[in-house]
Amino acid sequence: MERTCLAIILAAGESTRMKSAMSKVLHPVAGRPMISHVVEALASASISDVALVVGRDAEAVSAAASTGSVTVTSFLQKERLGTGHAVLAAREAIARGYDDVLVVFGDTPLITAAPLKEARDGLAAGNDVVVIGFQTPDPTGYGRLIVEDGTLVAIREHKDATEEERRITYCNGGLMAIDGRRALDLLDRIGNANAKGEYYLTDLVEIVRSLGGRAIAVEAPEEELTGCNTRAELAYIERLWQQRRRHEMMLAGVSMIAPETVFLSWDTELAQDVLVEPHVVFGPGVRVESGAIIHAFSHVEGAHVGAGATVGPFARLRPGADLGPKSKVGNFCEVKKAEIGAGAKVNHLTYIGDAFVGAGSNIGAGTITCNYDGVNKHLTRIGANAFVGSNSSLVAPVTIGDGALVASGSVITDDVPADAVAFGRARQEIKPGRAPVLRERYEAEKTAKKKVKAAD
């Protein structure tokens, strides 16, 4: 039978070093609260029951953790008396009876399912406690894992370690798996006879050995156990997350010319044979299909880019933008809540919002869909194979029919039938010889202004 597991996420810290008005576990990594990343890792490890220990911003933290198929129950930690005390805030959940109890932190968003599964495998093999550790070339400040003959003997804090123990590079990552049948008994045995008067979860190793039990350590990559306490560490975690995701995408067939300049969101989907040029930012909710090109300095959020479409350079796709196959949104264009049909072109210096552009249509430079009347948004519909000349304003609600032509510089306020030509501009007038007169007037006005300024 499959072993049952309760994951306890510790997320009640005051986050004082973040210098923030909100809990640190709510700060985003790749556009998503870091605690949501932790829950996702637990779900990937087939863990469905989570006890969330909260303090500051309890409701917001609970909401951020409630994602996917995981059932989250929150427990308030009223006092901060160490990690052992924090785990026991979820006593009610532990008492339900699980085969495994897994303790993780809400500020380690780089953790993956692999070390969590390995820790649980260690319990299944008959061990009572499994600590997740990491190797590092500079272990200064970390608790050392003292391992003898494959058994974890103790976790020694740096300040308490001997010179020989300080040379150990195997360090405590803080995450721990505990035999669920013994968890409450072991946790209740943790004392607070230390300088701070706190209850330390790390004491479990020596407690379980004193009772004739067995503790072991399993190793995870150092970056997966990276915690966050400051804004600088948050930026470091973001960099590590981005590097990892870019690498995964390139191995899956995405081309990035300068990957270090491309920034992805947690849910960005880039299909095989997508090309991403330098300095592109993907916000949440983006899906790009095969063969599309995202040119340099573009920002894409909440958008779908069809197969073979091109975006940019210097383009912005806002939420609701939906680009059809082989369509084009060119430089200095913005598209919002609009469908661009297959093969349609929105080439440059154009705003298309709350609109539909039919297949094969061409939207000239400087065109604007005037979609907002100050209170409500209205729809602009442009049919297939239509041509809208440069510097045109389409005042919604308005429809441009299939194959229609709109003359450059037009302001269109009425529907244009299919295959019609629409002019919406004042008639041009020419006044011969008038330019010198106007220039003389303008020069006189300029001179007058200078005299007034000098007099002041």
Quickly count: other Cβ atoms within 10 Å of residue 160's Cβ. Answer: 11
Cα 394 to the center of its chain, rounded Å:
35
- Residue 169: is it exposed, middle or buried by C-beta count within 10 angstroms (0-12/13-18/19+)? middle
Other CB atoms closer than 10 Å to residue 92's CB: what's the count?
A: 10
Cα 334 to Cα 348: distance, rounded to the nearest angstrom: 9
| Contact by Cβ (8 Å): 183, 166 | no
How many C-beta atoms surround the C-beta of residue 52 within 10 A? Answer: 30
Residue of 27, 85, 348, 378 marked active site: 348
Q: What residue type is 168 in one-letter code?
A: I
Label residue 158 exposed, middle or buried (CB < 10 Å: 0-12, 13-18, 19+): middle
Helix 58-65 vs helix 34-44: crossing angle, to nearest 10: 40
Q: What secondary structure does DSSP assign to 90-116, as a single string?
A: THHHHTT--SEEEEEETT-TT--HHHH
85 given a catalytic annotation: no
Q: Catalytic positions, please?
A: 348
